[in-house]
Structures are given as structure tokens and as C-alpha cells.
A and B are shown apart, each in its own frame.
Chain A
């Protein structure tokens, strides 16, 4: 099979899986997850084939795999859609396919496949556990299987379809289609346990918030299309004349160039999708969904898609200095802003959620300062270690839920880190893999992937003279290391703080295997991007990633010369943060003793409340005003006038025209005339054959005579 055909086929299996599960196999849990995981495997295999074929092509950036078909007739020309895999696409496809596959596998264990159905589980609520009696007659409460197990795999399949579509697209429109499919799936999966009001609210919040960004993105796409007549990346970026025209400054709003305006609009879409300030509010709430969803959407794929889109549009973005500044500001601000909130969170998943926002901020900031490769590199490594961390946290929660079921004390929150502690002995695999993920996130020097990618961003910021960005990101990196170590310490180290933590249990292989696989990448993927001139290590391995992904751009980005300052800073903040975190939190046993439970941070700078007052409140007030006055008063009033008026006209026509004339005169009249005629003529029909014959004879005679005399006269 040609590579192009294979690329077309990559998104297909998950979509088929979605329809198969929804339409046919949803009654059978085993069959449904087989279909789902099987589809993920197929897509993964295809992606791997495409990736390795992409590796073997020289100068893939100049000659990517492309294939397109006519799709929409637009006057004399066609709007073409198609697939394209260039180095950036290949790198993204690599991590997307692996994480999606791992998450599918993990979901089997997470939703307790093979366990009995719950005692009183209901659809739309998380499983509450089932009581079983063992051979000794003891009753145990064990985890119960998710009631909507099949549905989950169907949604995951559709989601994977959206992500693959987005990655392989060669144009903005199909990219946007995949983007919106993911938006829908995000809504469906965050609200998967729709029985919980908080999950419902979170789903709506996520959908509405990202929608704001999407509207601007669609505007950007529309503007781009109206100016260029195409949405194909290569056609736009490859057309130097066009790019030059677009780059002419000062033609539109705020003195931005057209390119800058388009890029800004598209970037707002990313702000929504990748949860950047000020549209970050949905992501922490999205943790209401099942943990595989958090890993999938809010770490590995969907938020990455936002960054991916900006990286994709980088040639356009880089045309306007002002837009770059905005992007850099938002990224940097988000990085530090989310990192500070993460320090004060106690929910294990919420810490990771804010850390995700912060890390995405790093990538956006990197793009804002022109560090194209560094952003892509951090995107990939982050996807691996953040998926690992989320799946690890899901494993922890799962273990804690086991403990909760064992003690039967449902008031204990299995997600609160202060209820944990000492889990390293109970859940060794989860502990070690979580440790790897956490160290990668903190940027533990030399060993982990996170160090290399984050170091590259800092080096770029330093080398390009963005001192403010450099300092802010370094601070954010310090906080990252600190809250990560806080999390690890509170969760795994020390002694168990609750009975539930004492009875936590290691999770099944379907959950631990993805953790181990992902931890390999969380360490190993950094080594493909070690700068050439790094002391000692540089040159041991070829700096493949820079070479490969850098080839996507027409002008290969320059390699930053080695500088000891950012390296030192990077080392200090990572190790310092980790050390301080451990030193402080090994002695903290409850939330009250924690110095960093600052209300302002705990309440996320009151952004939710502020939005409530500034946006949601007025909108609701306006809606109510319109409902009460405009709709119920004016519109309904008019309608209430028209209703009786129409009724009156109808009654008049009926009583004066229809009933007397149509019914009585024409309708009944005709019937009466017909009936009367029939009654009068009926005696003719005597039923006596001889009379009939006589009559016919008479008439024949009369007619014959008439004919004879009239025609005969003529003849």
C-alpha cells in the first residue's frame, strides 16, 4: 500500500469502531472494547508505518507525503481536501497514536472490565462497587464495572477519529472539522457521568468556553480563505508573493497586518482549545470526566491539537511582530499563572490539570519567541509524560477507591492528596512510573525528556534576548518542580494518612502496562533532541528531532549556540524545586499545616467568580429581560393578537361561507338533488325483463325512424 493511501486510512478504524459499537455491539462489553482497542491498534500500526517511512525520506519537508481529492465545487475551481504528512505531522502522529493506543488499553482496566455489575449502579454515575461473597462466606465489596462501558469506547473512538483527522489534514478546514469533533467528544466525555451535576456543568463549561475560541478560529479561517482562495497549508506558505502581501503592516485593525490578524484569530481558537489564559477555566473542571478522558483530552491530544494548530500556522504567525508578542505574552503569563494555582490544589488531578495549562503556556511562549522546534519538541515530550502522569493519577485514584470500598467509608475523597501517603509500597509500579513522569515534568536534569525540551525553550528565550520571558518561565519551571515534588511526596512518600490509603491496591495489568510503556518514552524521547554542542553528551546521539522537524519550515531554524547561563538556571530551578518540595512536604500531614493553602491561589484567582459576575451574570440577566419583556411581552403579545384574529377570520369564513354555501348549498344540495332524482326515476327500473325489452324496442324504433327520415331525406 502506498504511504498516501495509508495516511488516508489512519483515521478510519476509530470512526468505524464508533459506529460499530453504537449500532451493533453496545450490548456486549467484551466485544465493544475489543472493537475499540482493535481500532486503536490498527491506527497505531498504520501511523508507525507512516512514521518510519517518513524517517527514511530525505528532505521530507520539501517533499512531504501529500494526496488530495476534489471535494467542493467553488465556481470554476474545486476546494480540495486531502492528507499531508510532513516532519511535524509525522512527529505528532507518532505520539498521538501511541498515547491513544495506551489510553484505550488503560480504559479497559480503569472501567473495571471483568468485575461484577454494581449493586446499585446507575447509568450516568460512577460505579459504586459490588458486594461479592467468597468461598469462605465472607462478604467483600469490590469495584464494579462501569454501566456505560461500551459507550465510553464508542466516544473514545470518535475522539480518536477527530484527532487523527486533525493531524493528517493538509488544510485548515478538515483540521477544523477534526477540531470540532474533538470539541463534541470532549463535551460527551467530560459529561460522561451525567448523573453528577458537577460533571454536567463542567461539560457545558468546557463546550461553551472552547466555543468562544472556535468562533474566532472560524472567522480566521474565513478571512484567510477570502484573501487567498485556499486553505491548504503548503499552497499558502509556499506562495511567497502572497505571504509578502499578507505581511504588509498597518492595513487593518490595530495596525496589524492581515497575516497578523488571521494568525491572531486562529490563535484565539488555540487559546480556547489549549486552555490558555483567559479561556483556561474549563480545563480544571474537565477533571470531572473519567481519568482516561483527562489523560486523552487534557494532556495528550486535544490540548496538544491547539498547540499543533499554532505550530502549523507558524509561518503565518511569524510574519507579524505584534501578534508574536501577544502570543508570547499569553503563553508566558499562562505558564506562571497556572503554576502558582497548581501549588495550592489538593486534588491530585487538578494539580495535573493546572500543570498542563502551565506547560502548554511554555509551548505557546516558545512559539511567541520564535522557538519553533522547541515548542514542537516540548509538545511531544509533554504529551508523553503528561499522559503518563494522568494515567498514573488515575491508577492512584483507582487504588484509593479500592481502599474506600474496603473500609466502606465513602466520605473519604479518593482524589485528595492529603488522604494518601505511603502509596509507594502499595502500588510500586504506579509509584515508579509516576516518579518518572513527575521528574520529566519537573525537568530533572539529563535523564528525563522534560529537561531537554524545557531547557531548549529557556535557551531559545535567552539567546533571542527575551529576558522577561526567560525569567518568568524559569520561575514557572521552579514552581513546576516544586508542586510536582509536593504531589509525589504527599501521595507516595511518608506513611499512610488514612485507613483507605493503607488498603490501596496495585491496579491490573491493562493499567500498568500503558504506564510502563509511556514512562519509556517520558525518558527516552528527550535523547533525540540533545543539542549538538551540549557539554559531554552533545554529539553522542544525533540531534535528530531538530533536524527532522526543523525541515518542515522553508527556512530551517538556526541551531542556538550553547550557553551555560540557561543551562545553569534550568538545573537550579529543577533540582531546587524538587528538593524544596521534598524538604517541606515530608513533614506536612494535613491541609491545615500547608503554608501554601493561600485562599487566592486555592480559589484560582477568583476567575470563575469573576466570569460569573462579568459575563455569565449579565448574559443571564439579559436573557431574562429578553424572555420577560421582549419574548413574553412583545413577541407573545403579537402572537396572542394574531391567534384570536386568525381564529375570528376562520370562524367568520366557516359560519358565513363554508357552512351555508359550500356545505348546505353545494354539498348537501347536490346530494339532495341526486337523491331526489334517483327516487323519482327509480320506478322505471321494474326488474321485469320484458318491460326493459319493450322499452328498448320502442326507443330503437323511435331513433331508427328519426335517423331514417332525417338521413333518408338527405340521401
Chain B
């Protein structure tokens, strides 16, 4: 049988890879890819805690479903923003999109 720790460490690794992608990639689309990895890592945790806790309590799965919905919304809006920015500034490099600074 697989101990809970395996899943957790796996999820932590996935999360850290995603974090690296978010922090290090120049391309905004790639940053969003990293975010997806992080969300998946969280979902693994939720599912794992459901399975290793009280199976009759569906909270973990429900949260995972809602994370799906939020991830879908986030991707839709995020990519729309990237495309919109790309249209107006001809770039998808996150460092160059700095209109919000002083």
C-alpha cells in the first residue's frame, strides 16, 4: 500500500516545479502553464486527503471540483488577457508588460 506521504511529496514536487515555471519563464502563456501545475498539485493533495481521511465525507472531492471550475475560469480570463495585451503591445513577455509601475 502507498503511504500518504508519497502523494504529499509528489504533490510538493509538482507544486515546486510549477512555482519555478511561474517565477522563471518569460512568456506569459508559460507562466499560466506553471499556474496550472500548481493547481494540479493542490488537487492531488485534496484527493489524497479525501482518500486517506473519512471516505464518506466528500468535502475533498467537492473542493477539487471547484478548483477545476476556478482553474477553467482563470485560464479563460488569463489567456484572454494575454491575447489582449499581445494585440495592443505586440509582446507576451511578462517583464515587458509593466504599465502598472510608477
Chain A: residues with CB nearer than 8 A to chain B? 682, 685-690, 693-694, 697
Interface contact B102-A685, CB-CB below 8 Å = yes
List residues of chain B with CB within 8 A of the CB of A688.
94-95, 98, 101
Closest 5 CB pairs of A and B: A687-B101, A687-B98, A687-B100, A682-B102, A685-B102
Interface contact B99-A690, CB-CB below 8 Å = no
Q: Report Cα–Cα, A693/B100, bound state, in Å.
A: 14
Interface contact A690-B98, CB-CB below 8 Å = no
B69 within 8 A of A: no
Q: Contacting A685 at CB < 8 Å: which of B94, B95, B101?
A: B101
Give B46-76 interface residues, CB cut-off 8 Å to A.
none
Extra pairs beyond A687-B102, A689-B97 (17, CB < 8 Å): A682-B102, A685-B102, A686-B98, A687-B99, A687-B100, A687-B101, A688-B94, A688-B95, A688-B101, A689-B94, A690-B22, A690-B23, A690-B24, A690-B94, A693-B22, A693-B23, A697-B23
Interface contact A690-B31, CB-CB below 8 Å = yes
Q: Is the interface of A mostly helix, strand, loop or mixed?
A: helix
Q: Report Cα–Cα, A416/B98, bound state, in Å.
A: 102
- Which residue of chain A has the shortest Cβ distance to B95 in the bound complex? A688
Interface contact B101-A690, CB-CB below 8 Å = no
Give me 15 A-to-B residue pairs in the complex whose CB atoms sit less than 8 angstroms apart, sorted by A's number.
Answer: A682-B102, A685-B102, A686-B98, A686-B101, A687-B97, A687-B101, A687-B102, A688-B94, A688-B101, A689-B97, A690-B22, A690-B24, A690-B31, A693-B22, A693-B23
- Nearest CB on A from B34, distance (A): 10
Interface contact A694-B102, CB-CB below 8 Å = no
Q: Report Cα–Cα, A682/B101, bound state, in Å.
A: 9
Chain B: residues with CB nearer than 8 A to chain A? 19, 22-24, 31, 94-95, 97-102
Q: Contacting B23 at CB < 8 Å: which of A685, A686, A687, A694?
A: A694
List residues of chain B with CB within 8 A of the CB of A686.
98, 101
Q: Report Cα–Cα, A687/B97, bound state, in Å.
A: 8
Interface contact A690-B95, CB-CB below 8 Å = yes
- Nearest CB on B from A677, distance (A): 13
List residues of chain A with CB within 8 A of the CB of B24.
690
List residues of chain B with CB within 8 A of the CB of A689.
31, 94, 97
List residues of chain A with CB within 8 A of the CB of B98.
686-688
Q: Report Cα–Cα, A694/B99, bound state, in Å.
A: 19
List residues of chain B with CB within 8 A of the CB of A693.
22-23
Q: Report Cα–Cα, A687/B102, bound state, in Å.
A: 7
- Which residue of chain A has the shortest Cβ distance to B28 in the bound complex? A689
- Which residue of chain B has the shortest Cβ distance to A691 in the bound complex? B95
List residues of chain B with CB within 8 A of the CB of A694.
23
Which of B94, B97, B98, B102 has most chain A Cβ within 10 Å? B102
List residues of chain B with CB within 8 A of the CB of A682.
102
- Which residue of chain A has the shortest Cβ distance to B100 in the bound complex? A687
Q: Report Cα–Cα, A685/B98, bound state, in Å.
A: 10
List residues of chain A with CB within 8 A of the CB of B97.
687, 689
- Nearest CB on A from B3, distance (A): 24
List residues of chain A with CB within 8 A of the CB of B94.
688-690
- Nearest CB on B from A293, distance (A): 82
- Which residue of chain A has the shortest Cβ distance to B98 in the bound complex? A687
List residues of chain A with CB within 8 A of the CB of B19.
697
- Nearest CB on B from A650, distance (A): 43
List residues of chain A with CB within 8 A of the CB of B101.
685-688
- Which residue of chain A has the shortest Cβ distance to B24 in the bound complex? A690
Q: Report Cα–Cα, A694/B20, bound state, in Å.
A: 10
